[in-house]
Amino acid sequence: MKKLILPFGASLLGYLLLSAGVFYSVLFQGLVPASPDSVSPMATSIALDALYQETGRYPLWQPWSFSGMPTVEAFTYLNGLYYPGVFLGVFQVSGLWLQLLHFVFAGLGGFVLLRYFKLHDIAAFLGGAAFMLTPYMVTMFIYGHGSQLMTAAYMPWVLWAGIRLLDSMHPSDMGVLALLAGFQLQRGHVQIAYYTWLLLFLLIVWKVATGSSAAKRFKKSAMIFVALCIAVVISASVYLPVFEYTPFSVRGSGSGGGAAYDYATMWSMHPREFITYFLPGAAGFGGITYWGKMPFTDYPNYAGFIVFCLAVTGLIAERRNGFVRFLAGGTVLMVFLAFGKYFSPVYDLFYHFVPFFSRFRVPSMALIVVSLTLALLAGFGLHAVMQEIKGKGLRLLKGGALLVALSALGFLFFETSFEGFIRSLFPIPRVESAELAQMVDQVRWNLWKSSFLGMVCFGGIFAALLWLRSKQVIGAVLTASFLTLIALVDLLMVDRQIVAPSTGSLQSSQLVSQRYLERAFAEDDVTAFLRADSDVFRVYPAGPLFAENKFSVFGIESTGGYHPAKLQVYDELLQVSKNLANIDVLQMLNVRYVVSMSPLDHPLLDVVHEGELRLARGPVRVMVYRLAGSMPRAWFVREGVSEKEVMDVYGKLLGGEIDVTTQALVEDAPWIGGRQFGEATVSSIEVLPEKISLSVQADQEAFLVLSEVFFPLRWKVMIDDHEQQVFKTNGLLRGVSVPAGEHRVVFSFDRRGFENGSRLAFAGFAVALLLAGTGLSGLKRRGGFK
């Protein structure tokens, strides 16, 4: 037992120290990530946390962004559905600490997986550390993609559990695999989980294909299948609602239920950018210095030069090892998938024929798998180096050393020509001045030069250590220790540039003090003014403020916001109206105030307040305009026009061809053409996040328009306890026919899908836990605990 516990404990300590080194400013200086991708969900989470505490029910609808949208169904606010997070929350471990624990968890997974193949402790430690420290993982933390980081942390663990089950065929290993795969799905980044399962599928094919008998192959396949089915059930509280929501989401409305091809392949990695795996500055280092083919890239896909060399070493030395071949095959497949539109035969095959694959964007996200496989191969490489180096290995070493020496000499004698050639490849920077463009080009060249010199330097050290090892000058452990040290230094140098960019890099740090962020989320002059209005209304954040989510913290409903999986029906209106830049649309959406950083000139807009709006990116001076003629949250119209005769609803709305105060364009209406309705009034309205109640009085049958987003899957309407049909009205809103008389009209959010999923998830968790427990009881019977 000590042989297992001591190396595991030492590795855990090492990973903790490495994490503390990378994120020193977060752990000990009170700094926190404050990128837009960090801050936007943070504001929404603050509001949802408060709502959860107030109501005692898990929030499924948030009305503060995009005039209202789902939470869980749109992969928002999943922390309370992630069982390990809930458990650790009892001990006050949440937020950034939870992410950092998963960072360490990722390293431990790599260590445990490599130790399963009986690699030396140092080699296994390097494999885990190389995966943990890959710039992808560090960037996900710094730039606010915690769900990606935590989901990716499960990748080596799922492979470990899968291969254990395939080898042992024991029910307890079924439970372990079900728990790990289920928790990964619960964490909510389905694309990374999908890639993990794809890699697991390749592993199963390899192991089952090499099985000893047909009976064993069938049993292995059946046990894996059952374990993964239980994992899916464990995640039902998330995915049951999500799958139902997909047809209504902007991400699931493309052909065949997937994202449109151009949108899905926007973040495809050009094949020439693969050079960044051993030259981190080859395509710039993010921001304005980046000159690759992907938008908004803030880090290089760097494996570490020593890690890359060790991975190649492992592939060559252990080429007859089935698991190494599996890792090599997985690497090649994922690289081609990451190429996306730049290598269409592979990507297109998956896009058109592999289930659910077309629903994902960012093909380059497959590179997180490449980071894992290269790290694991590097572990095998370091283990091989610890053995005797002779024969073919020695010849390869000499060839590699000669290449490093020639590269150094070539650069030394032809630096000017080399610089001219590299600079000729740089595209013209999209910046405001020629002086700044020159600075960008200089930074790009400096990145190229430092990366190249770093490669030569680390390559020379690598070759020297291997030569000393081949001559038996230094021992296996010392060689492995030195190689691990320089490999980690290499990765840490790149990671440091992500966490704390150096002066002159043209990159700014994404970290701010906790106090600064708290101040940014605190009430300010503008939010206090808006909050003082106790009526039911929305605001329209104009221009650069449109994606701001701060208003949600104070319960101020906004027509804007930020979320990648908004309702498709709302996104369509945003597209045709250029983010609602139309007075008639704003009036229809119950917008009372327009918040703008720039002066607005319109006869229906009057300045009612001017003050400071504090944001995470800094305070801004804004003007608050009151919009005249804004509609209430609910009103009655005199005429309903069937959309069968109105071919362009948004054209009519944006062109001002209908009067929304008296007319409504109704989709799937049970009448043809226009229909007249009677007079009616709304005497009272109560608006809650998941319930809207109205008291109405109608002289005869009337048509009620509610200025809320049409989402028939969940929002139902009852009139005096009798369910009625909700009509899509004016292309976006909800409408309902109300009979004559006094009535109670209640729109409520249907929670049944979520609640059914939650019950299934707990049942699946209980089954997996019982299966995993059979291993503990068996160990106890065998005398494992004494």
**In the 3-class helix/strand/coil scheme, how is 180-222 assigned residue by residue?**
HHHHHHHCCCHHHHHHHHHHHHHHHHHHHHCCCCHHHHHHHHH
Residue 570 has pLDDT above 90, yes or no: yes
pLDDT in the model for residue 206: 84
Tell me the CA distances in angstroms from 372 to 124, 567, 572, 652, one per residue in order.
13, 34, 39, 53
Confidence of residue 567 (pLDDT cuts 50, 70, 90): very high
- β-strands 741-749, 691-698: how paired? antiparallel
The confidence score (pLDDT) of residue 398 equals 63
Burial of 392 (0-12, 13-18, 19+ CB in 10 A): exposed
Nearest to 659 by CA among 635, 683, 625, 694: 635
Residue 312 CA to residue 399 CA, distance in Å, equals: 14
| 180 and 157 Cβ atoms separated by less than 8 Å | yes
| Pairing assessment for the beta strands 618-627 and 605-615 based on DSSP bridges | antiparallel
Average pLDDT over residues 545-565: 92
- Tens digit of each residue's pLDDT (9 = 90 or more) over 467-489: 888 888 889 999 999 999 999 99
Q: Is the per-residue pLDDT at 258 higher than 60?
A: no
pTM equals 0.92
| Distance, CA of 162 to CA of 56 (rounded, Å) | 38
Express each pLDDT in 177-232 by its tens digit.
Answer: 999 999 999 998 999 999 999 999 999 888 887 766 788 888 888 999 999 999 99
Structure confidence by residue, pLDDT tens digits, 611-628: 999 998 889 999 999 999
Q: How confident is the model at residue 776 (pLDDT cuts 50, 70, 90)?
A: low
Torsion of CA 592, 595, 601, 605, to 10 degrees: 20
3-state helix, strand, coil in the chain (%, to 5): 60, 15, 30
Residues 586-602 have pLDDT tens digits of 999 999 999 999 999 99
Which one is predicted more confidently, 762 or 284? Answer: 762
Q: What is the largest CA-CA distance in the chain?
A: 100
| pLDDT > 90? residue 262 | no
Rg (CA), the chain: 29
Question: What pLDDT score was predicted for residue 255?
Answer: 45
Residue-wise pLDDT for 95-128, tens only, equals 899 999 999 999 999 999 999 999 999 999 999 9
Query: Taking 50 as the threshold, does the pLDDT of residue 786 lie above it?
Result: no
DSSP 340-398: GGGGHHHHHHHHHHSTTGGG---GGGGHHHHHHHHHHHHHHHHHHHTS---THHHHHHH
Place of tokens 């309702």: 567
The DSSP symbol for 427 reads P
Residue 99: what pLDDT?
94
Is the pLDDT confidence value at 374 over 70? yes
Residue whose structure tokens are 């599928």: 201
Residue 778, pLDDT above cutoff 60: no
- Confidence check: pLDDT of 784 > 60: no
**What is the pLDDT, as a whole number, of residue 783?**
40
Please check the confidence at residue 780 and state whether its pLDDT lies above 50. Answer: no
Per-residue pLDDT of 139-176, as tens digits, reads 999 998 899 999 999 999 999 999 999 998 899 999 99
Q: Give the separation between CA 183 and CA 165, rounded to whole angstroms.
A: 17
Q: Distance between CA 463 and CA 486 in Å, rounded?
A: 12
Token pair, residue 422, equals: 């590299």
Residues, the chain, total?
786
Whether the per-residue pLDDT at 781 is higher than 60: the answer is: no
Amino acid, single-letter form, for residue 236: A
Give 7-42 pLDDT, tens digit per residue. Answer: 899 999 999 999 999 999 999 998 999 888 788 888
| Residue bearing the bigger pLDDT, 780 or 688 | 688
pLDDT at 782 over 50: no
